[in-house]
Structure 1
Amino acid sequence: MSTQQPDPQAGAAVKAADRAHVFHSWSAQGLVDPLAVAGAEGSYFWDYDGNRYLDFSSQLVNTNIGHQHPKVVAAVQEQAARLCTIAPGFAVDVRSEAARLIAERTPGDLDKVFFTNGGAEAVENAVRMARLHTGRTKVLSAYRSYHGATAAAINLTGDPRRWPSDTASAGVVHFWGPYLYRSHFHATTEEQECERALAHLEEVVAFEGPQTVAAIILETIVGTAGILVPPAGYLAGVREICDRYGIVFVLDEVMAGFGRTGEWFAADHWRVTPDLLTFAKGVNSGYVPLGGVAISAEIAATFDRRPYPGGLTYSGHPLACASAVATINAMAEEGIVENAARIGESVLGPGLRELAERHPSVGEVRGLGVFWALELVKDRVTREPLVPYNASGEAAAPMGAFAAACKKAGLWPFVNMNRTHVVPPCTVTEAEAKEGLAALDEALTVADRYTV
């Protein structure tokens, strides 16, 4: 693995320039202290001080193919030499090929692709398509969800990042999805949780007026809000509700798609086909911004003679599409989706469950492929979270201490509220996964100090 010699002076200059001019997302600008990154390769990245980190966050759960994959880097370079950019209205080989490769892997008849620059824009356009297709306005989404930070997407989002921007006028209605560990429905089994969650959703539809509901949008596996794997039968039940009332079913696969769960799309685990499927992140591991909506034949036909009122200057950008083509082909040729499934089944799943047996701070382990969460608690019996919901400042100190311990052990974690998400690249090796588990083992001893 190529790393450069430590150069703290260069790192200090990078950080100083950042603090002088860069406005960071989701941050109090005077308190943010970003790590100056010097480089990355595979499952690792490193700073200017010579510290190397095993990336168990995949950055923002998007570097599915790892950092600096040579085939993807080469594809971007080759495309840049041939055609850097062209407007969306032209037919371009690399854009058509990216769409074909995506459509080849999406479930059912989702054979048309509208390209965006990322996941939030994909959600925005999926909602617009659903509303225009149905002539209805309301969209239902789960409280435990994240769909993006643009106008409609942030209103659809259920987690607290919605609160400062919630206009309460975007035609969005939230409902409770299944989450047995903290069941809203007083369920004690997966079957009960599924049955009661579906009954709740159908009741929300009934009380809102089915004729007013354009779409139900779900993350196939809830990502940032907890890596919540739906119980068997739930997604099929939502599909049936949508079919019965003429509601468009949208699956958000921005985080779960392209190998993350050990299948090309998480929907493949339950053999459910939505009407619209949003994607981004893993489609090209974020090497160049890209997202999109995969569209069913019926909804695509709505716009055969009726113009679709939406577009982006960089829709299907050639550099982004080239990186997607190279990513999808490399994933297929190198068995990367299969690797994610194998690592999850044989290393991460068993390893995390073994950690849970030894650490009282671990309340639950859940996940698939390379998409896992440890829910950290103060008390296993009461299931009191290690930190309160949406905690900040001193109240969030236990999770801060845990995260610091991870980094000290050479592991970069993905921490959200009272959870740590175990989300390495889909290319992670067995040795790297075990290295990460060892670092987590060490850091969990810090979390254990805050248990009762």
Structure 2
Amino acid sequence: MTETALTSDLAGTHDAARAYELDRAHVFHSWSAQAEISPMVVTRAEGSHVWDGDGKRYLDFSSQLVFTNLGHQHPRIVAAIREQAEHLCTIAPAMANGTRSEAARLIASHTPGDLDHVFFTNGGADANEHAVRMARLHTGRHKVLTTYRSYHGGTHLAVNMTGDPRRWASDHGSTGTVHFFGPFLYRSPFHATTEAEECERALAHLEQVVALEGPATIAAIVLEAIPGTAGIMVPPPGYLAGVREICDRNGIVLVADEVMSGFGRAGRWFAVEHSDTTPDLLTFAKGVNSGYVPLGGVAISDEIHATFAHRAYPGGLTYSGHPLACAAAVATIRAMEDDDVVARAARLGDEVLGPGLRALAERHEWIGEVRGTGAFWAVELVSDRSTRAPLAPYGGSSPEMGAIVKGCQERGMLPFSNYNRIHVVPPLTTTDDEAREGLEILDAALTAAAG
């Protein structure tokens, strides 16, 4: 195929007005009322920025859906995808392929403990679906326990595992999922006043749920190592280790959902490293290749891997371990290693984002709490600090939140908002100056929205 032919195939896609017209005519958007949205047309992106159809530049403080960990158009990742496309675009998952094998090796080199075997999926939701399937087959049990403040994906089982309101429309109570309260001191369901109390009482609550549900009926406890869209609540010291002990004592598989928190986002390769806890299964996606080509997976312990040594695992996907996606993963992980990106993310949180957000909290009465680690922060917005009344209802929004988001966008920053929170989740490669610029824009938007 000639360069001219290749160019002509995509030439019409660069017209922003046409892109919007065709989107509104033909594209069905997720999590949206179709007639009530007006999506931004993005024409190009680079580093920590994207440009809209009018040529306006925005600082991407959302990493899109918290996946462009190495920013947009990273030259190493783009080059790897191009090289792989010129060599071998695709191959069925039953075949062995060098790029897929190297991606699995690199992932296993950073997962904790003996999580040395990788089952590739297309994204985070199907990674969680397959992790639960593995746990059920390994244990011979069916129930799965997850927290109320959680998000595990949009497919049927994953959205039923989800605790937040996105579950409600699809929840018919028939998938074997049971929800419990995880630790969250700012809105403690246990009336705790310290992190130590919150940890102790949350573990006691989980013990009771396990006992009342019947330990012999429970296949897995699935936890986001740090809950992401549910609020970036870093678990108190000792909590994940306590859950690990409960699982071990009752023969329950512990699954760590690291779809959002993994690959440096929380200032460690994986967020479970903050607690020195090794799960039996670890799910990932997003940051594994910065979302350049869809990829997810399950990292599997030796014990669970042995279950399927002489017993076929009944599951698979047509595009499992797709060579283009795995090439992007290889380049992403090697770039992270060479550029010490994980340490960079930890420093960004310790020296810029954390102090900057705490300074904002001193100036704005609407900020009830800031929390996070690495490049993974949440700003909890309240209408009254004394009562901690949220600035938007759980599962909804409010004019005040709309004004804050609009104010950020007008000033050239794309925020990540969810209910009454703004999440500060820029690419891990964001410079200190870019991070400070984003915080200044958030500051100005809060000031304007509060009148």
- The answer to whether residue 26 in structure 2 is matched with residue 21 in structure 1 is yes
Q: CA deviation at 1:49?
A: 0.9
Work out the CA distance in 2 between the residues paired with 1:383 and 1:172: 30
Q: Which residue of 2 aligns with 1:33?
A: 38
> Contact conserved, 2:407 with 2:449, CA < 8 A, in 1?
no
Match of 2:254 among 241, 249, 258: 249
Match of 2:348 among 332, 343, 349: 343
Which residue identity is paired with 2:214? G
Q: Which residue of 1 aligns with 2:205?
A: 200
Which residue identity is paired with 2:304? I
Match of 1:368 among 362, 367, 373: 373
> Contact conserved, 1:88 with 1:313, CA < 8 A, in 2?
yes
Work out the CA distance in 1 between the residues paired with 2:156 and 2:391: 32
5+ long unaligned stretches in structure 1: 1-8
Work out the CA distance in 2 between the residues paired with 1:323 and 1:442: 37
Is the deviation greater in 10-19 or in 171-180? 10-19
Q: CA deviation at 1:338?
A: 1.2
Q: Which residue of 2 aligns with 1:230?
A: 235
Work out the CA distance in 1 between the residues paired with 2:188 and 2:449: 24
Superposition misfits of 4+ residues, deviation over 2 angstroms: 446-449
Work out the CA distance in 1 between the residues paired with 2:214 and 2:297: 30
TM-score (norm. length: structure 1): 0.96
Work out the CA distance in 2 between the residues paired with 1:387 and 1:257: 28
Which residue identity is paired with 1:134? T
- After superposition, the C-alpha distances for 1:310-337 in whole angstroms (9 at most, x for unaligned) are 0000000000000000000001101111
- The answer to whether residue 92 in structure 2 is matched with residue 97 in structure 1 is no
> Contact conserved, 1:40 with 1:46, CA < 8 A, in 2?
yes
Q: CA deviation at 1:442?
A: 0.3
Which residue identity is paired with 2:315? G
Q: CA deviation at 1:89?
A: 0.6
Work out the CA distance in 1 between the residues paired with 2:124 and 2:396: 26
Work out the CA distance in 2 between the residues paired with 1:417 and 1:52: 26
- The answer to whether residue 347 in structure 2 is matched with residue 354 in structure 1 is no
Q: Which residue of 2 aligns with 1:267?
A: 272
> Contact conserved, 1:101 with 1:328, CA < 8 A, in 2?
yes
Work out the CA distance in 2 between the residues paired with 1:387 and 1:18: 30
Which residue identity is paired with 1:407? Q
Work out the CA distance in 2 between the residues paired with 1:159 and 1:338: 31
- After superposition, the C-alpha distances for 1:248-289 in whole angstroms (9 at most, x for unaligned) are 000000000001011100011111000000000000011000
Q: CA deviation at 1:448?
A: 3.0
> Contact conserved, 2:199 with 2:239, CA < 8 A, in 1?
yes
The aligned length equals 438
Work out the CA distance in 2 between the residues paired with 1:184 and 1:91: 49
Work out the CA distance in 2 between the residues paired with 1:63 and 1:115: 19
- The answer to whether residue 384 in structure 2 is matched with residue 387 in structure 1 is no
Match of 2:51 among 46, 54, 61: 46
Other structure's SS at 1:378 match: strand
* Counterparts of residues 62-141 of structure 1 (less than 5 Å): 62-141=67-146
Work out the CA distance in 2 between the residues paired with 1:380 and 1:199: 29
> Contact conserved, 1:360 with 1:448, CA < 8 A, in 2?
no
Q: Which residue of 1 aligns with 2:424?
A: 422
Q: CA deviation at 1:447?
A: 4.0
> Contact conserved, 1:361 with 1:447, CA < 8 A, in 2?
no
Residues 273 and 55 of structure 1, relative CA distance in 2, 3 Å threshold: same
Work out the CA distance in 2 between the residues paired with 1:213 and 1:270: 24
- The answer to whether residue 313 in structure 2 is matched with residue 308 in structure 1 is yes
Q: CA deviation at 1:50?
A: 1.8
Q: CA deviation at 1:398?
A: 1.0
Q: CA deviation at 1:445?
A: 0.9
Work out the CA distance in 2 between the residues paired with 1:189 and 1:129: 37
Q: CA deviation at 1:11?
A: 1.9
5+ long unaligned stretches in structure 2: 1-13
